[in-house]
Amino acid sequence: MRDRADLVIIGGGVVGLSLAYHLARLGFTDVVVLEQGYLCFGASGRNGGGVRQQWSTEENIQLMKESVQMFRRLSSETGYNVWFRQGGYLFLARDAASAQGLEANVKLQNRCGVPTRLISPAEAQRVVPGLAPAGIQVCAYNPTDGVLFPFPAVWGMARAATQLGVAVETFTRVTAIEARGRQIVKVVTDRGAIATNRVVNAAGAWSVQVARLLGVELPNKPYRHEILISEPLKPFLDPMVSDLSDGTYFSQTMRGEICGGVSDPAEPSSMETRSSLRFLERMCRAMVRVVPTLANVRVMRQWAGFYDETPDGQPILGRVDEVDGFIQLHGFGGHGMMLAPIVGKLAAEWILRKADHALFQRYDLGRFKRGEVQKETFSIG
Amino acid sequence: MGKTIVCQCEDVTQGDLEDAFEQGFRDLESLKRYTGLATGLCQGKCCIAHAARFLAALKGGDEAAADPPRTRPLLQPTPISCFAGPEELSASPASREGQK
């Protein structure tokens, strides 16, 4: 392992690797990425792969438009097929408040150039064969949203970054970060130390622990989020379907499996990764309500990952007051995979001072002290 | 020499494992994710032991390096309808508690 680096990225998930990849593409390769497990160990390897542009703030819509374009190129850029399939996203509203929310979102999305449409339950049945229309008021459908296979997105960015000269160290746990005054001097791992003045915290659910190594307290909380996958079926389901009444979402993978999860308001913050029967039952009920014929499909497997949640549902990006050269890139909730390409690219440009992006001031840790908080209302799962 | 099948459900061969190992996927969790091994209908019951043996051989007999991946529920593929009954008939006490 290298014993010094211009920049050390803690966290070999899709966010840290996207940053490493984009730094390397800009010619900055004196970078070490430290991953505590295997690649895909954390949330980057445990999510449903949804990529949507249906958001409730202009900023997130514009970022996600960029990410979609980047995912379209990612397979050919990295040599790993990420199976990005633009089958759309279909949101179901069962009450007046959700319907009004969708209406407002669709107008905003259209102004941003995203072709989302409000459609009736009858029309939605043509998009999702077998959809039960009862109780659905209105749907929002954007055919250019999509789903990808998370693993190759992670591996592809890791390999592309490595080929350009970045070092990606798996099974390497950070045990300490040493500082002299405000300046970082060293990252200590269970496989040796790396002298550096700059550290990026991209550790997802482990970000709070990483920040604490430098005495920085983060407001993030990790939440278990469970997900299941069915036996493979003949391809029949184009979009990701999401029921806003309970936060259910599911889509069909390129291997034919139905894969999805559901929100659980009773889930406490924890670092628990065991699977629960409670989730299995809630998810199965939710799926049958949306598409009753799924009742005959067999569930093969369930697992859990983490949502790294912040108080306002937006990520934490940028510097901290306490220490120099300590950059935060975490708090992505359930949206790290879909935001990773564009956030990694913008962060690389910002770190190398190729461009200034307001994102890294607006979403810095200090916003919670300043009270400048604008909540993203359209988070699912 | 013929092909040696490691995972019958997902049609993963010994050659596939060797390729994956060459590419840097050198633990069972990664081999599972890269090759699809153990993610088919048997969920690894028929193949994990074989894969562990091949990996240990590739690592030069290092059995410890081939710790099996964490086993995930379900024990066997089960229809969604088995879990989608009315909440009051739920099999899961935790599920009822959560509804308070």
What confidence tens digit (pLDDT) does each residue in A190-219 have?
Answer: 999 999 999 999 999 999 999 999 999 999
- Residue A190 contacts B, CB cutoff 8 Å: no
Question: Which ipTM did the prediction report?
Answer: 0.91
Q: Which of A266, A296, A301 sits opposite B81 (nearest CB)?
A: A296
Pinpoint the alpha helices (H) of A189-335: 207-212, 277-290
CATH of A7-46+151-219+312-370, one of 3.50.50.60, 3.20.20.70, 3.30.70.520, 3.40.50.620: 3.50.50.60
Q: Do A231 and B79 touch (CB under 8 A)?
A: no
Q: Do B80 and A264 touch (CB under 8 A)?
A: no
AA letter at B3: K
- Residue A274 contacts B, CB cutoff 8 Å: no
pLDDT attached to residue B91 = 63
Mean per-residue pLDDT, A334-357:
97
Which of A287, A274, A334 minimizes the C-alpha distance to B94? A274
- Residue A297 contacts B, CB cutoff 8 Å: yes
What confidence tens digit (pLDDT) does each residue in A83-135 have?
Answer: 999 999 999 999 999 999 999 999 999 999 999 999 999 999 999 999 999 99
Q: Do B84 and A302 touch (CB under 8 A)?
A: no
Please list, residue by residue across B51-90, b when 16 or more beta carbons sit within 10 angstroms of its beta carbon and e when fewer do: bbebbbebeeeeeeebeebeebbbeebebbeebbeeeeeb
Q: Is the pLDDT of residue B1 over 80?
A: no
Q: Where are the domains of chain B?
A: 5-70
Within 8 A of B80 by CB-CB distance, chain A residues are 230, 284, 287-288, 294-299
What confidence tens digit (pLDDT) does each residue in B78-100 have?
Answer: 999 999 988 777 766 655 554 44
Tokens 């399939």 correspond to A85
3-class DSSP state of B77 = coil
Distance CA A12, CA A129 (A): 39
Q: Do B43 and A284 touch (CB under 8 A)?
A: no
Mean per-residue pLDDT, A363-378:
84
pLDDT attached to residue B100 = 40
Give the residue range(s) of CATH 3.50.50.60 domains in chain A. Answer: 7-46+151-219+312-370
Report the residue of chain B nearest A296, measured CA to CA.
B79
Instruction: Output the six-digit token pair for B3.
Output: 């092909």
Q: What is the CATH number of domain B5-70?
A: 1.10.10.1100
What confidence tens digit (pLDDT) does each residue in A271-294 have?
Answer: 999 999 999 999 999 999 999 999
Distance CA A131, CA A241 (A): 10
Give the residue range(s) of CATH 3.30.9.10 domains in chain A. Answer: 85-144+221-309
Pinpoint the alpha helices (H) of chain A: 14-25, 58-78, 96-111, 121-127, 150-164, 207-212, 277-290, 336-351, 359-362, 367-370
> Testing the interface with B: which of A46, A157, A284 to mutate, by most B Cβ within 10 A?
A284
pLDDT attached to residue A343 = 98
Mean per-residue pLDDT, A357-374:
91
Which of A94, A119, A362, A147 minimizes the C-alpha distance to A254? A147
Which of A105, A49, A128, A100 minimizes the C-alpha distance to A336? A49
- The residues that bridge with A251 in the sheet, in sequence order, are A259
What confidence tens digit (pLDDT) does each residue in A36-83 have?
Answer: 999 999 999 999 999 999 999 999 999 999 999 999 999 999 999 999
The architecture of the domain spanning A85-144+221-309 is 2-Layer Sandwich (3.30)
